[in-house]
Amino acid sequence: MEPEVVIRVATPADAAGLAELKLMMSPPAAPLADWERALFAHDLVSWIAVDPDSRVCLVAEVDDQLVGMAWLVVFSRAPNIGTLRRLTGDVQSVFVRPEFRGRGIAGRLVDGLLDAARARDIGRVSVSSNDAGAPVYRCAGFEDAPLLLEWRADPPGR
């Protein structure tokens, strides 16, 4: 029998585990010193604390070890007549440790973020996905948005 996977809201005590997951997801070019890992963990907690109502982080935990994460960043949109409060969300950094993939954990994390969006009355949630992740989002109800356009600044030094 596989151990139970618990999906829950991240707490400041999860900082080191979240930092490790982020580093596994997007590895740095060079190995980090312990102090750099600790600083990154601190920065994550600080980022959440600046405006906790606009950031939701869910974690997947197995036997007290973080095995996955997913983030929802909430943005305020320009008001419409009769609708002052308009919010949109962006799903970011959904990641599950490779050895725990294929168990539906990513889908449960995304579903949890969408529940958080509904609870906040968020009218639209977007996600940028790669081909491997797209089925998870489609299963959760996301659809292709062919008119999405994107602008990117030139990298520094160009």
pLDDT at position 17: 93
> Which residue ranges make up each domain of the chain?
5-10+53-139
Pick from 62, 23, 68, 54: nearest CA to 41? 23
Answer whether 22's CB lies under 8 Å from 57's CB.
no
Mean pLDDT in consecutive groups of 10 residues from the start of the chain, 158 residues: 90 91 91 90 86 91 96 92 90 96 96 96 93 94 88 80
Answer whether 97's CB lies under 8 Å from 24's CB.
yes
Topology of the domain covering 5-10+53-139: Aminopeptidase (3.40.630)
Mean pLDDT of the chain: 91
SS3 content of the chain, % helix, strand, coil (to 5): 35, 25, 35
pLDDT at position 7: 97
pLDDT at position 85: 87
